[in-house]
């Protein structure tokens, strides 16, 4: 059995994989690096798999907080793990769009499944899950309700500020002027879509395009980004778990290589 742990800024994910590359157990905990989230995610996954910690042969950690997880046998970058996890879950993928809590990543995959190029925004909250969280708070709704708000929009509203702080003030001003929450919500989605599309266009995109990360669960965001890119975007199975799946696959690879060296 092999374990992949993806430690993000706002959530922790764990995946247990067997030697046949079958996903045995998964867990998502809504607290990330700097908390007990990673340990809770691992414990939940092991409990689901009915395994003890000693039955895990190799563990790989990835994500924003991967260096902080001392129980990992190895750390692998989130770009590598998301690329591997996405092509495992969607072999046809040639472009991976991952929008996480604090960053956005565009990964281009070649025809052999290897990473060809990537670009990442981790310097600004605009175009990330954090931006959507801030806007949901202003709109007085839960992050999971933001998509439904946007679906009911009847009038286009532009959020022009690319900085989260200025965009926050702009949204408050729009609401004070009588704009409908639904229209503002869609304007927020459009703002994120433009930011991510700009990032994607820096390296170029190839179909098939798949989306990963927690924001992929927001169907209005997926639809708006698809419209902005003028390309169909599919959501991979278990979008929040893609990085952890990739980490578990790397864990299996590293273990086999280690085993071969031992036999030689």
| CA-to-CA dists, residue 58 to 104, 120, 141, 217, 251, angstroms | 28, 28, 41, 30, 5
Task: Quickly count: other Cβ atoms within 10 Å of residue 7's Cβ.
Answer: 30
* pTM, entire model: 0.91
What ranges do the domains of the chain cover? 1-90+238-264, 91-235
**What average pLDDT does this structure show over 156-174?**
83
Alpha-carbon distance 43 to 45, whole Å?
Answer: 5
Q: What percent of the chain has pLDDT over 70?
A: 98
Alpha-carbon distance 264 to 259, whole Å?
Answer: 9
Answer yes or no: is pLDDT of 61 > 90: yes
> CATH number of 1-90+238-264: 3.40.570.10, 1.10.1040.10, 3.30.420.40, 2.120.10.30?
3.30.420.40
> CATH number of 91-235: 3.30.420.40, 3.40.50.2300, 3.40.309.10, 1.10.10.60?
3.30.420.40
Residue 54, SS3? Answer: helix
Per-residue confidence (pLDDT) for residue 222, from 0 to 100: 96
**What average pLDDT does this structure show over 208-227?**
94
Task: Quickly count: other Cβ atoms within 10 Å of residue 138's Cβ.
Answer: 17
Distance of CA 182 to the CA centre of its chain: 25
Which residue bears the tokens 């801030």? 134
> Which residue, among 202, 213, 208, has the nearest Cα to 117 in the 3D structure?
202
Out of 4-8, 32-36, 148-152, 190-194, pick the least confident: 32-36
Give the tens place of pLDDT for each residue, 68-122. Answer: 999 999 999 999 999 999 999 999 999 999 998 888 999 999 998 899 999 998 6
Per-residue confidence (pLDDT) for residue 239, from 0 to 100: 94
Per-residue confidence (pLDDT) for residue 142, from 0 to 100: 87
Backbone angles phi, psi at 63, to 5 degrees: 95, 180
Give the tens place of pLDDT for each residue, 241-256. Answer: 999 999 999 999 999 9
Alpha-carbon distance 62 to 244, whole Å?
Answer: 7
């Amino acid at each position: 059995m092999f374990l992949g742990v993806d430690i993000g800024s706002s959530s922790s994910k764990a995946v247990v994989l067997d030697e046949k590359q079958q996903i045995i157990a998964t867990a998502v905990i809504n607290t990330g690096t700097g908390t007990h989230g990673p340990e809770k995610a691992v414990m939940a996954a092991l409990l689901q798999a009915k395994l003890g910690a000693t039955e895990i042969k190799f563990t790989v950690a990835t994500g924003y907080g991967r260096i902080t997880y001392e129980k990992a046998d190895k750390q692998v970058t989130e770009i590598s793990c998301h690329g591997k996890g996405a092509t495992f879950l969607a072999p046809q993928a040639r472009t991976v769009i991952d929008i996480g809590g604090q960053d956005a990543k565009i990964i281009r995959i070649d025809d052999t499944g290897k990473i060809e190029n990537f670009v990442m925004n981790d310097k600004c909250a605009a175009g990330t899950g954090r931006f959507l969280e801030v806007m949901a708070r202003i709109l007085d709704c839960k992050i999971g309700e933001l998509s439904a708000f946007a679906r009911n929009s009847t009038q286009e509203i532009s959020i022009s500020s690319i900085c989260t702080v200025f965009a926050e003030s702009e949204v408050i001003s729009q609401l004070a002027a009588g704009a409908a929450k639904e229209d503002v919500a869609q304007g927020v989605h459009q703002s994120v879509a433009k930011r991510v599309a700009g990032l994607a266009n820096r390296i170029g995109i190839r179909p098939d395009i798949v989306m990963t990360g927690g924001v992929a669960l927001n169907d209005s965001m997926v639809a708006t980004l698809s419209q902005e890119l003028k390309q169909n975007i599919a959501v991979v199975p278990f979008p929040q778990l893609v990085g952890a799946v990739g980490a578990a696959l790397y864990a299996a690879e590293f273990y086999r290589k280690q085993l071969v060296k031992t036999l030689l």
